[in-house]
A and B are shown apart, each in its own frame.
Chain A
Amino acid sequence: MTSSAPPLQRTILQRLLQELCPDCQRLPGPFPVWHGPCPGAQWWPLAQRIHQAGGRLVALWPDAHATLLHVTYALEETLAWVWLELGKAQKIPDLSPLFPAANRLQRAAVDLADFSLAFDAPDQRPWLDHGCWLREQSAPPQPYAFVPVTGEGVHEIAVGPIHAGIIEPGHFRFSVVGEKVLRLEAHLGYTHKGAAARWRQRPALLGHELAARLCGDSTVAYSWAFCMALEAALDWRVAERTLWLRALLLERERVANHLGDLGALGNDAGFAVGLAHFSRLREDWLRLSKALFGHRLLMDSILPGGVRTDLDKTQCALLHAQCVALEPELLTLRDIYEGHAGLQDRFGTTGQVLPGLARQLGLTGLAGRASGMAADLRCHGNWAPYNALDVQAALREEGDVAARVAVRFDETLESLRLIRLILDHLPAPGPAVAAQQNLASTHAVRGLGRVEGWRGEIQVALQLENHRDSLTLRDIHLHDPSWQNWPVLEHAILGNIVPDFPLINKSFNLCYSGHDQ
């Protein structure tokens, strides 16, 4: 009996694209990505139809020369990456009524494109550009126009950009009555480093070094997403063992961050013992990373086409033993956290984002999974090795600090299981992958990588070009899930008291550097 290929099932997104943007093509890579131009007249209808079908906006950015505006939408596991050709004096429809995250993405796009594009949106304030950049056209340096709240007894508290603790810079403006927060507005962009421009000046194959340094807590996730995009664009085949080792690194990064956050969350609720223990566990974790992979935060451990270090049997045993030792400690600490009346009093119903609001605002990643948004890339697509690991995504419905703490505990335990599974089934080192060709393809090629980092989905979209016989990046954009989640944090704090803000903020633990870039 001859077996025939199963009929290709078209996803909803694919059908929509076929109807509205018929020139879309599938890009290579572990996730189905459809890429192509979007006719100007279809920009809004496409967004609307995707919104109706339950899709979400992932990223929006202008290309380096401000001639194209790119947008990516995700629906289930399929991703649509479409671009709009920018004409002169054309006002682009505002997507923020459909996808609230579009507001800041569009404002950032205007800043990055040197004001050469305009959106038909009510909010025209600059976002990343504070009027300090060395460019021909920059926003005039003037105070940011926060939305004022008026009424009897309302006053403002301004915090930042330098915060009291050791955290990244950003400004928060609270409007409060007594202790109660009526409105919070964040102003970010303080750590903008012009990373995309720097990338374009460097050889594409060294781009992973920058990717590792965009956000120090998600260095593995960014490096992998970058390498995935690059490998997809060059159509490189990566050894099976490499992919498994990358997943091992990604899970180790997830555990390290969750350990840090769980301790800090206990501390912010006045439970210093929690911080002492979790920071001790985290330090043990980082020291083994240093010993086996050469870097405590695992920077530069993923390279285009490979990983920096392989593991031998003894090293695998060490990693395995560390998971075995950590698990009972974690379970004990979870019992203590869950049984401690003082902690639960601070965690419960604090900073609540209910599933309805989460869906409406497009909350993603870890915070999304604490508010009933069941999205975890590790459970989807043909992403090796996760397609062989049967990842159990954490899910809670309550949407408060307690739920975000619970998701962290669940995910850490799941990661410990995954690490052991990976170690047990690590494919044997295969023959060295044949010298990678394709370095000299003549025309520009695009690639896209998606990785579920500990904070949520990280996306890297890039375009390569062959410039005087060396491979460079013509365009690159990295997207951090914090773009979606920062505006939700502003909702989560409403009606809470000011002293709970550090706790709520920590429970989201959003990224500044990855957001500002």
Chain B
Amino acid sequence: MWKLFNQITRHGLCTEKPGSLTRPSSATSLTPDTNHGSDPGLTQTPSEIPVLCAAPRDLAPHEAHQRLLKIVGRALTIRAVDAGSCNGCELEMHALSNPYYNLEGAGIRFVASPRHADLLLVTGPVARNMVQALLRAIEATPRPRYVVALGECACSGGLFGESYATHGALSEVTPVDLCIPGCPPEPGFILQCLLTFLERLPASRLPA
């Protein structure tokens, strides 16, 4: 058992040197498809949604924690909503919690209820069968809340696009604050996108 605990202390916390996170190579090509007709009722059209195409720079988890504390001054809570994904994006979200990225160490936590969440990470090409549940989850999230499209499917509809069974881009059904492209986006990239997004938020939109 001691051997195990030793290993955890070696691998578990903030052990990665800056520069060890990998950048997604294909991110730049995965911007949202702006050809989608957007709902005139939306506050933002898809083309206005910020898309972080390249990570600003590599970041170590302890540095991420410092930055997060500076921005929000407390933990950031996330509720993941799968709106028809292939599970690839979910696997990478899971990876965020492994000892390498140590998400909770950076003060970011996945929570079980949208009522406890600041931010919704939505994946998949918005299957029509999931729309009702998705909109309810968004409604249940207290303001100020952020809706983030994770993965190419949620950003633009991806390969599945719009069909009898899917809406395509998440922005077709709800206003979106941020698109994180990639199929699936890699964990380090997700983390960097979230932090950069929070950093750029005007003070009025930060969680109280």
Contacts and interface: CB of A to CB of B under 8 A. Distances in A.
B183 A133 contact: no
B203 interface: no
Contact of A279 (B7, B22, B95, B133): B95
Interface in A177-204: 189-195, 197-198
A513 B125 CA distance: 12
A161 interface: yes
Contacts of B5: 273
A159 to B, nearest CB: 11
A216 B22 contact: no
Interface in A434-476: none
A280 B4 CA distance: 12
A193 B166 contact: yes
Given A209-B159, A260-B94, A513 B128 contact: no
A297 B39 CA distance: 34
B99 interface: yes
Given A133-B128, A194-B164, A299-B183, A276 B91 contact: no
Contacts of B112: 164-165
B164 A216 contact: no
A216 B130 contact: no
Interface in B2-19: 3-5, 7-8, 11-12
Nearest to B140: A162
Most-contacted residue by chain B among A161, A191, A273 (CB, 10 A)? A191
A41 interface: no
B87 A216 contact: yes
A167 B82 contact: yes
Interface residues of B, number: 54
A450 B86 CA distance: 20
A194 B91 contact: no
Contacts of B8: 273, 276-277
A132 interface: yes
B129 A215 contact: no
Contacts of B98: 276, 279-280, 282-283
A190 B127 contact: yes
B82 A169 contact: yes
Interface string B139-164: 00000000000000000001111011
B130 A191 contact: yes
B89 interface: yes
Nearest to B163: A194
A216 B100 contact: no
Interface string A110-144: 00000000000000000000101111000000000
Interface residues of A, number: 51
Contact of A513 (B87, B131, B166): B87
Most-contacted residue by chain B among A166, A280, A286, A297 (CB, 10 A)? A166
Contact of A299 (B4, B88, B99, B125): B88
B86 to A, nearest CB: 4
Contacts of B80: 166
A360 B82 CA distance: 33
Nearest to B94: A166
A511 B82 CA distance: 13
B165 interface: yes
A297 B91 contact: yes
Closest A-B pairs by Cβ, 9 of them: A216-B88, A279-B98, A194-B165, A164-B112, A216-B87, A132-B128, A194-B163, A216-B86, A191-B84
18 contacts: A130-B129, A134-B165, A165-B110, A166-B94, A169-B84, A190-B130, A191-B129, A194-B166, A198-B160, A216-B86, A217-B87, A273-B8, A277-B8, A283-B99, A287-B22, A290-B22, A299-B88, A513-B84
Interface of A: 130, 132-135, 161-162, 164-169, 189-195, 197-198, 209-210, 213-217, 219, 260, 273, 276-277, 279-280, 282-283, 286-287, 290, 294, 296-297, 299, 332, 336, 511-513, 516
